[in-house]
Structure formats: structure tokens, C-alpha cells
Structure 1
Amino acid sequence: MPSEEVFNTPDGATYTTSNGDPIAEPYAVQRIGHNGPVLLQDFHHIDLLAHFDRERIPERVVHAKAAGAHGYFEVTHDISDLTCAALFNKVGKRARVTARLSTVAGEAGSADTVRDVRGFSVKLRTEEGNWDWVFNNTPVFFFRDPSMFPHFVHTQKRDPQTHRKDADMFWDFFSQVPESVHQLLILFGDRGIPDGYHHMNGYSSHTYKFVNAAGDIHYYKMHCLVEGGFRTLDSTKAAEIAGQDPDYGLKTMYNAIEQGHYPVWNVFVQTMTIDQAESFRYNILDMTKIWPHAEYPLRPIGKFVLNENPKNYFAEIEQSAFSPSHLIPGVEASTDPVLQSRLFAYPDTQRYRLGVNYQQLPINAPIAPIANFQRDGRATFVSQGNRPNYKSSIQPLSYIARTASQAKHEIWLGQATAELSSVTELDFEQARILWNKIFDESARERLVKNVSDHIRNVTSESIKRRQLSIFAAVEQTLSDRIADLIDLPHVTPLQVPDPSAALRFQASSH
């Protein structure tokens, strides 16, 4: 149903062609006589058809289905010891935000209540440029090697021959990537199906860096925790909703905002010094691992509120473009290899979908004035007038130096290598804690059932046994309980090297 605004405030516009020519009857076409052919001179009709043929832009390869809204971020705590970002120079300062919250694997028409990771993207418009948070609703991810990403996505999509989702592809991939088991326990646990987009948390997963005015580095992970706590659906309820109301997530978030029940997320960071990062048990660049809260507690920095629905979904949500490379002074990317790859892949996706000038679209344009040497290209809205398109002495630009981070900490010397991370016992420790200490028995029972219901659709016995051996490396009883439900014999744990074989984090390698 259209919003009350549509019903109550008609704009009284006059119908025209795309070039502004008023048309008396939009359904009429020019013909020769009553039964003759349509005339090519009927620009209104031809333009209508031609535009209709081009209405769709490429949907995102991942995160195609999404809800979105606008609101604000507000600084609630002083973190000037961590970052020199101007956004944080005053408690109470606000920045306008646009958020796009999504499923990952499904197409634009897929159901909102599938068991899937959720995307959690927020664009903050600051005086120093746009700062994009391109997060997920889980604190870890499936792997730490960036070259796996395209192949991983292929296995979550459709089989190239049958064009169906395929359990063999799904589990064939994960059974060859043992470090994915931590994320799999989250995905097939109670948190695997959020109850709508506005009842879930968001996590950076990646490690980023804050740089303060003195140039000191603090590594951080960010957590956006929804007020009132996250809500989830069980598999039965989710399947019922998917059949009856596949746009449930879009509807419930839109209606909540329309009714004044604005979603609020409190924002925290976990931080590490350089010394802490280098002595940490796990590699801080490994996004399959969390940082224990007992060792690295959550520090509040702000909150963000979504209090405004879009007037036009396509213009404000579908055309919104997020990238982890959209950073501001005082915030930097770490050398997490998956993050480093996303720094390229995400803006390149938008260049393909929206064009090279995607950041000139109103929804993506920063409030900070733009001055650079980029010019022209399709759909140029801001051409920067007669300003020279090179470093000119005739009309020179001003240049502001950035606060330099500690250069000694990040000096790399070495040969170019083709590197793939190795699996060790460390990759099962946190999943084991999740199974043994975080989940209660009822949560363990639901996890086992959820995995069993999915993996029993696999036709390859070797894939099922291989995945069971990974579960056994976490905890033998986990594997055995799944095996019993899918009528397979128990398997022994996957054998991996001990923790000493893991690659440790040492930023300076000279």
C-alpha cells in the first residue's frame, strides 16, 4: 500500500514527455486511421518504450535484496584519543546517514526470511567526506583468503546447468574450507535468520585503524548493537513467512519507521594497540576470528537512528553505492587481505552498475565540496566548471596534509608470493567455545537439526563425510549428532597442525 503521504499530498503535476512537452492522453498512440500502423513520429510512445526497455540496471551480484532508510549518526562519547576525524571532535555532533540492509545470496526478488548472512551498510556524510560502513550482521566471515570470494558466491547462487540452488555446491565449498566452521555455527544457529532487517546487529568483521592527531594507531573492530536486542526466527516460522509474505523484512522496517518506531543502533568499538595486536593469540587480520570481549571490551562511541523512509526506492536505495574504501581522515584500512580486495571490488561494482560518475548521484554525493582532476564520462552532473583538470599553477588547488600514521610499524620488505592461508587448530577454538559455552542444550539441538535438514540434500557421500570431519574437529559430539540424523557413520576429526603453525600478525616485516 502506498504511504499516507502519497494519499494525502498529491503534487498536482502536469503530465509531459521526457523533454517537458505536455501530453493530453498518456495511453493514446498516433496511428494512420483507426486500424492502421503506429507512426514512428510519435515520440511520446517511442520514448516510453525505449525507456522501459532500459529501466533495469544490473542488480548487485550479492546483496541484491535490501531494505533502506535515512537517519542520523550522533557522537555520544569522546574518542579523540583514538582518531582525529572531525566527526568526533564534539560530543553530540550529528551526520546524516543512509542505510541499506540486505540479504546476501538471493536475487532481488528473493524472500527476506532465508537463512543467510545479512549485509549492513551505512553511509555517513561528514564534513571531511563520506564514510561508509560496509558490514555484515555476523562478527566473523567464512574465510580469510580474498581469492575465495567469487568462487564462494558461485556456490551460493545457481548451478550453471540446472539453474537451481544446490546443496552439493554449498557444502562442497565449505567442506574444503575448514576455517568456515565458526561462521557456519552462527549461520545455522539461532542467529541465522534475523526477524526483519531492523532487528539485527551489524559488525565490521574486518579490522580497521584509527589514527589520532599524534599519528598513533589503534586497530579496531566496530559493533552496531540494535536497541532492544536482536530478534530471530526459527526455520519453521521463516519458511511460513517466505511463502506468505516474501517482502516481510522490507514491510516491517518501512512500517516501523512510518509509525514513528525508529530503529536505533548503539555503536561500539573494540580497540588494540600495536603491541597488543602483535601479541594477540590470533592474527588480527583474520576475519574468521573474534576479539574476546573480556580482553578487549566494547567502548561506546555513538548511535545511529533511522527515522526517514525513502521517497523513491530506486533513486535512494537501489542507486546507493557503498564501499569500504570510502574513508575519512583519521580512519584507515588495515592490511586484512579480504578487506584490501574489497577496497577495489566494491567501487568497481558501482562503476559497472551505475557508471564511472556514480558518486555524483544525489544519494551518493558527499556534502564536502569536491575538487579533483576527474572529468567527463557518462552521466556527468558535476563538471567542476572551468577549473583546470590537472595540477595547475594558473588556478591552483589547496592541499591538506593528512595526519601520518606510524610509518615504522608498516614497512614491508619481501618477495612477491602466491599465498594461501593454512588451517590449524586455532581455526576450531572459537567455534568450540561457541558450541560448548555459548550455546545451551536447546540451541545446540536446533543447530544440529538446521544443519542436518540442509546437508541431507547433498548427494555426494564424500562431501558429507568431509564436512562431518570438520564438525568433529570442533567437537566430536557435534559431528556425531548430525551424522545420526542423516544416517551416516561417525567420522574422525580432520587432522590439522597445532596452533604454532599459524601465521602470526607482525605488521613490520623488515
Structure 2
Amino acid sequence: MTQEAHVTQGPLTTEAGAPVADNQNSETAGVGGPVLVQDQLLLEKLAHFNRERIPERVVHARGAGAYGTFTVTADVTKYTRAAFLSEVGKETEVFLRFSTVAGNLGAADAVRDPRGFAVKFYTEEGNYDLVGNNTPVFFIRDAIKFPDFIHTQKRDPYTGSQEADNVFDFWGLSPESTHQVTWLFGDRGIPASYRHMDGFGSHTYQWNNEAGEAFWVKYHFKTDQGIKNLTAEEAEVLAGKDPDSHQRDLREAIERGEFPSWTVSVQIMPVAEAATYRFNPFDLTKVWPHADYPLIEFGKLELNRNPENIFAEVEQSIFSPAHFVPGIGPSPDKMLQGRLFAYGDAHRYRVGINADHLPVNRPHATEARTHSRDGHLYDGRHKGAKNYEPNSFGGPFQTDRALWQPVALNGVTGETVTPVHAEDNDFVQAGNLYRLMTEDEKERLVNNLANAISGVTRDDIAERAINNFRQADEDFGKRLEAAVQALRG
């Protein structure tokens, strides 16, 4: 039977066979509002996606981690009431996991791929997880497209290999990816080590202070070791000689006492400015230019202790953007809204319902007090305590104070496109990034992209992919087209 015989024609449906009206936009409470739980297509896709691989992570499977300390270096109490940020000099234990995105557990480190940059702060108010990457933007702006995107980066179900056709077909049909793809195929697409790259929270988050004032923020972790990258040629050699290069470098640096560190800063936007800002501040494919919202330094993160067991502490570590503490909360960013569900769901499936009880995951500076019981890995910690609330036996009780401030909404429910602001389009920031590059950087970017696109077998897919970069910058597209044509003969 040929491959074509397995292709099913007709409308896209849910797993139950119901036709799908919109597979591009998740349902929100009004235009720009939070995503609704009633969007069962979104939940079905994310839940199914989380269960496609066992037992390793579906994404970010290949990783390394270390413990360390976060120290507050500037007063930010006028912006947030988070206790771990309450005074200059205050220290908080952290665990940071680095990772590649697309490769499996046995993949090489020195590859062209975004790097995960996930930080767990063991605060006295509970664990706060900041789950980011080494890039300030991402390929898509709506979580409903995430399973489809990752399917293009993973092995094709028919060939068993990653296919350039799939990769560039999706990117070409999803022009919002142009900015991130420009980052990925530029010099920073292959960091020389985990120590020599920046980290970003990427999403927009909310900070709120004791007075109830709210602010939108973006996190930046600037490496104190300096940025170092590998060329495509250098990475190809290193990946073959030492697949564990980045994990080995991190471990050995800490063993030598060369503790890597990052300067931590934040961009802060008053809530009132979001509606009229020139770019949609909740669009994950966009950055906030520093000229508009400059970096405000507030901390130092240092890694100074290696894990004693990789499986117990790195592979079984879990991070969820839904792990907030008082004074910090989510934004209407549609990718973040989807991840608030997807990460926790993935951990409950992959590690187990009691994954938070494991030493690397449980709170270190306070105690978790819940009414959850039983399930895989349950350790009987609650003993004879009642497992419901409210109760008359001195059990845990609610505080009546929300962790974050409410967000004003308007409009009606429905599958809505992310709101477009005055200077929003899918190409403007990719073009700006290209024009910031030196001539040598542009040449390497074009060559890296051309080598990848030349592997595409269909002319229409290649042409559409090139056209996205042409719309970002005419010179960018012209040079890329010529380079691809030269490689394809």
C-alpha cells in the first residue's frame, strides 16, 4: 500500500469526529482576553500531545541542570510584593535546567535549536517557576498551534526522520515564525555552551505590589561569561566528537569552582500602556524594544552545585509556568495561557501525579499543604489529617488574597485572532533584527537558512518560505533566494 493511500481527505475533526471550525486561534474571553477552558479542541490537542512520547519529555528531553543562588541586587518592591524579592541582598535557592527543544534524550548538545532556560526559585511562599528560552521570542503566538509546530520538528511518522519539507512548510504557512527563525539561523542559534548564552522569560507576566498596582514585565538573564556561539561547521564536528559537550561543560565548570552567573533584569510596562502600545505586548513573536522599556537590573543568579543524580534531579525535575507566588501572575499571552495547562498536565503524565513530592521539585523554603491524596508515588505524608476543606480539624485554609490582580475584559467569547496593534505585522521585527546584523552575520544567517531550505523537495514550499524573509527585508530575501538557487542547481 502506498503512502498516499493513508491520507484522509475532508474536514479536520476532533478525536470524536466533530468538525473543527478554527484550528488557528484558541477561544478567548473577548479579543485579547484569557483563553477559556471551554475550548475543548485546545485542551484535547495539548493533552494528546503531552502523551505522545513515553517516558521522556516530548520537548526539552535533552537537558542538564544545576543548583545555585539568586540574590536581589536592587529594590523592586514598588512593582511586586513577592517575598523573595522583598529586600536587597536577599538570597533564594534555585535549580536551573537547560535543554534543547527538538532532540530526544540521546541527541547531541551542539545542534541548531532553541535552548530551554527553566528556573525554579525555592521561595518561602512556595516554588516559583520561570520557564523560558535563550531567545526573547517564539515561533507561534497561540498554543493551539504548538502540537502542529512540534510535529514538524520531530521525526515524520512515515519516514522516521526530520523532514525539511515539514519544517519549512509549517514556517512558510505560519509567517509569525519569521522573527524566531531569523534568531534561530543566526549566530545565536548554536550556543557554544549553556554558560555562554542569555536566558529570557520570553512571555509577558504580571507583577503586582502591596497597593494592588499591576505591571506587565519581561525577564532577561544576561550571561556574565559573555556570549559565545558555534558556527554550523564547528557544531557539526563537536556534535560528532562529544554529543554531551554542553552538559559536560556545565558540570566541569562548577566542579572547577568557575560558577556561571547571569545578571537578571526586567522590562516593566504600566498596565494602562498596554492597550495602546505600538506592538501587542502579549504577542510571543514580538519583543519590547529597549528604547521603549529599558532593562531594570534587580538580581544576580549563580549556579554553584551540581546534582548528585541526573535522573532523580534533572530528568525528574518539573517546571510549570502555573507555579506562581504572591505578587507574580500571568498575562493574556495566548501561548502562556495554553502552557499554564500543558506543562502541569505533561508532568502528571510523565512523572506522576505526585511529582511535586520529589526532592528536586518540592518546596525547600516552606511546606506544601494540600488536600490531595493517593496516586503514584504518594508517600503518606499527610498521615491521619482530613482531606477536605473547609474542615473543623485545623486543616489548611484559604487566604482570601489572590496571587495576582484581575484583568479587565470586554467582548464576547469565540476563537479570536491575537489583537493587532499599530505597528504589528509578522515581519517588521524580523527585518529590524536582520538590519542590526553585521555583514558577516548576515552572510552566515543566509548560508545557514539556504542550507536548510535547499533540502526542501517541493518548489512551492521553498518559495513560500523564502518569501517570508523577503517581506521582512528585501535584501534578506534576495540574497536567500540566490543562495538557495545556487545550492539546488
TM-score class, shorter: 0.7 to 0.9
Q: Which residue of 1 aligns with 2:194?
A: 197
In structure 1, the partner of 2:223 is 226
Paired letter, 1:319: Q
1:395 CA displacement = 2.7
Query: SS of the residue aligned with 1:347?
Result: helix
| Paired letter, 1:380 | Y
Which residue is equivalent to 1:140? 137
CA–CA distance in structure 2, aligned partners of residues 362 and 204 of structure 1: 24
Taking the aligned partners of 2:380 and 2:254, their CA distance within structure 1 comes to 33
Distance in 2 of aligned mates of 1:115 and 1:396: 51
Distance 2:200 2:360 in 1: 23
The aligned counterpart of 2:465 is 467
How large is the RMSD of aligned CA atoms in angstroms?
A: 1.7
Distance (Å, rounded) in 1 between the aligned partners of 2:95 and 2:405: 33
Relative contact order higher in (CA < 8 Å, ≥ 6 apart):
2
Q: Residue 369 of structure 1: which of 347, 367, 370 is its match?
A: 367
Aligned to 1:384, which of 358, 362, 382? Answer: 382
Q: In the superposition, relative to structure 1, how do residues 406 and 78 fare at CA in structure 2: closer, same or farther (>3 Å)? A: same
CA distance in 2, matches of 1:81, 1:389: 38
Aligned position for 1:77: 74
How far the C-alpha of 1:365 sits from its partner, in A, is 0.6
Range 410-419 or range 96-105, more displaced = 410-419
Per the TM alignment, residue 285 of structure 1 is displaced from its structure 2 partner at its CA by 0.9
Residue 428 of structure 2 is matched in structure 1 by 429
> Could you tell me how far 1:402 is from its partner in structure 2?
2.4
1:127 Cα deviation after fit? 0.3
Match of residue 354, structure 1, among 351, 356, 374: 351
Flag the 1:68–1:210 CA change in 2: closer, same or farther, 3 A: same
**SS class of match (1:282):** coil
Match of 1:484 in 2: 482
Superposed CA offset, 1:215-270 (max 9, x none): 10010000011103221100000000011111110111111011011100110000
Q: Deviations over 1:414-458 (max 9, x none)?
A: 33212344889622111111111x101111111110000110000
Matches of residues 299-338 of structure 1 in structure 2 within 5 Å? 299-338=296-335
Q: Distance in 2 between matches of 1:159 and 1:114?
A: 19
* More divergent stretch after superposition (199-208 vs 397-406): 397-406
Corresponding residue for residue 242 of structure 1: 239
Q: Name the CA distance, whole Å, in 1 between partners of 2:466 and 2:363.
A: 49
Residue of structure 2 equivalent to 1:449:
447
Give the share of equivalent positions with the same residue, in percent. Answer: 45
Structure 1 unaligned regions, length at least 5: 1-55, 490-510
Q: Equivalent residue for 2:43?
A: none
Alpha-carbon offset, residue 412 of structure 1: 2.5
Structure 2 counterpart of 1:94, one-letter code: E
1:99 corresponds in structure 2 to: 96
Whether the 8 Å contact between 2:206 and 2:404 is mirrored in structure 1 is no
Residue aligned with 1:72, SS: strand
Provide the residue aligned with 1:33 in structure 2: none
Q: 1:376–1:383: 8 Å Cα contact kept in structure 2?
A: no
Partner of 1:41: none
Q: Whole-Å Cα distance in 2 between the matches of residues 316 and 291 of structure 1? A: 35
Paired residues in the alignment total 431
Separation in structure 2 between the aligned mates of residue 477 and residue 288 of structure 1, nearest angstrom: 22
1:397 positional shift: 3.1
Q: Determine the C-alpha separation between the residues in 1 that align with 2:98 and 2:135.
A: 13
Letter of the aligned partner of 1:454 in structure 2?
A: A
1:3-25 C-alpha deviation (Å, 9 max, x unpaired): xxxxxxxxxxxxxxxxxxxxxxx
Question: Structure 2: where are the runs of 5+ without partners?
Answer: 1-52
Contact 1:215/1:404 (<8 A) preserved: no
Distance 1:321 1:397 in 2: 24
Contact 2:283 2:418 in 1 (8 A): no
425-434 vs 229-238, greater mean Cα deviation: 425-434
Would the aligned equivalents of 2:280 and 2:419 in 1 still touch at CA under 8 Å? no
Indicate whether 1:174 and 2:174 are aligned: no
What secondary structure, in the 3-state scheme, does the structure 2 residue paired with 1:373 have? coil
Residue 220 of structure 2: SS of its match in structure 1? strand
| Equivalence for 1:153 | 150
| Displacement after TM superposition at 1:126 (Å) | 0.5
- Give the match's secondary structure for 1:349: helix
2:217–2:268 Cα contact (<8 Å) kept: yes
Shift of 1:403: 5.5
Distance 2:399 2:124 in 1: 14
Q: Which residue of the partner structure matches residue 187 of structure 1?
A: 184
Q: State the Cα deviation string for residues 59-81 of structure 1 (Å, max 9, x = none).
A: 00000001111111111111000
Compared with structure 1, are the counterparts of its residues 382 and 74 closer, same or farther at alpha carbon in structure 2 (3 Å cutoff)? farther
> Separation in 1 of the partners of 2:70 and 2:465?
42
1:175 match: secondary structure: helix
